[in-house]
Structure 1
Amino acid sequence: MPRSVPRTVLDVTVNNHPGVMSHVCGLFSRRAFNVEAILCLPMHGGEASRIWLLVDEDDRLEQMIRQMRKLQDVHDVRVSTEKTAVFDQLGTVMGG
């Protein structure tokens, strides 16, 4: 069954230290905004990480992005509709 709500990926660059993922995910949780999938990898020698969040595109998304940019450990937030295929491929590999 095709999805009625399109999905997008938030490409987030953050400081890499304990608690950052909790802060980012907590922002979504407090606002009852579901994160469908998460991919996180260290970069720049481990000082920063790149988090990809697969989320539904709804009328609250722009506000979520603005709020995320206010978090102390967030360096950058970009939106990419093209990167959703990565999550589809991972789901296939993982048997989902």
Structure 2
Amino acid sequence: MNAVSRNENQALSRAVLEIDVANHPGVMSHVVGLFSRRAYNVEGILCLPVGDGRQSRIWLLVNEDQRLPQMIRQVEKLEDVSAVRRHHADHAVFTDLEAFFQA
């Protein structure tokens, strides 16, 4: 179990990270592996190519705690990452997807 206990984990708010990356094999593994190595749980993942396919956009639904700003700085340092944006958990990418699956 990570550093946050289950009871505290349920009380945490969530955030959506929108990450622009170079589109090639292994990039998703590098990004998500960074979270895994630091025992930071990812609640949801969505990845799609954008534009001409040389770039992809990864959306991560994560718990928001005191470690998140450091995690963002670490992601920004990855070679294949060109941009990271932080959104509230009510970002349409996950709320619309959730509504689709509940219908």
Give yes or no for TM over 0.5.
yes
Distance 1:16 1:83, change over 3 A: farther
- Unaligned stretches of 5+ in structure 2? 1-9
Aligned-residue Cα RMSD (Å) equals 1.7
The superposition leaves residues 6-55 of structure 1 with CA deviations (integer Å, 9 ceiling, x where unpaired) of 11100100000000000000000000000000111101210000111000
1:43-82 matched pairs, under 5 angstroms = 43-81=50-88
Distance 1:50 1:32, change over 3 A: same
Compute the displacement of 1:84 (Å). Answer: 3.4
Structure 2 match to 1:38: 45
Structure 2 match to 1:20: 27
The superposition leaves residues 54-80 of structure 1 with CA deviations (integer Å, 9 ceiling, x where unpaired) of 001100000100100110000000101
Compute the displacement of 1:85 (Å). Answer: 4.3
Which residue of 1, 13, 18 corresponds with 1:11? Answer: 18
| Partner SS for 2:52 | helix
- Unaligned stretches of 5+ in structure 1? none
**Number of residue pairs matched by the alignment:** 94
Structure 2 match to 1:84: 91
2:14/2:89 contact within 8 Å kept: no
